[in-house]
Amino acid sequence: PCTCSRTSVRAQATRMGIEGPIYPGTCRGRHPIPGRQHAMRLDTRGAVIEFEDRLQGVIRQDIGLALGDFVIWRVEDIASYHLAVVVDDAWQGVTDVVRGHDLLDSTPRQILLQRLLGLPTPRYLHLPLALGPDGQKLSKQNLAPALALETSARELARALDFLGQSPDEALREARPAEILAWAVRNWRPAAIPLMPRGGSSPS
């Protein structure tokens, strides 16, 4: 159990990690205090995870050194993102996870939880991000403009170009369903460019 706020973690931290100040283990080993709200953190001392991403290659992370003990149950009495996604993926029988490169550092934590809970580990592939001129990823979170539905076929072809898949010229005038069917049949992970790609965006 941990009663530390984010402010107190920042004040007590002596090291910086990949996501900011590292929790110094202040509450490690303590028992819950009746009537006091607390989060639950996972002791990550000695937790080293190595896995092979289908695009990025072998990834190795010492979670304790890179992040410290991370929250698995929040003070609001709900599961953390990492615990929730691990259980949800296992419940749905997910075998392959394809997502953005910005979530690559989350994967070792999720694999650690999978192993501790005796759950299967999916195969992972982390794609390059499409970035705007300001270097921010193109997303709703960053207020990037939405794509027009009437140009969805063209946007799909552009996305495939961005991912190194090189669709045929004739396909660019096809219906979205045809483009997606072609992409499934001709998917080549080895052709996808690696991250980071400074200022890259579909063109």
pLDDT tens-place string over residues 39-85 = 999 999 999 999 999 999 999 999 999 999 999 999 999 999 999 99
Q: Which residues of 112-149 are buried (b: 16+ CB within 10 A; e: fewer)?
A: bbbeeeebebbebebbbbbbbeeeeebeeeeeeeeeee
| Mean per-residue pLDDT over the chain, rounded | 89
**In which residue ranges of the chain is CATH 3.40.50.620 found?**
6-127
| pLDDT greater than 60 at residue 200 | no
| Contact yes or no for 100/133 (Cβ under 8 A) | no
Q: Which residues are catalytic?
A: 140
CA distances from 87 to 82, 90, 108, 156 (A): 9, 5, 15, 31
Widest CA span of the chain, in angstroms? Answer: 68
Domain 6-127 = CATH 3.40.50.620: yes
| pLDDT greater than 60 at residue 131 | yes
| pLDDT greater than 90 at residue 169 | no
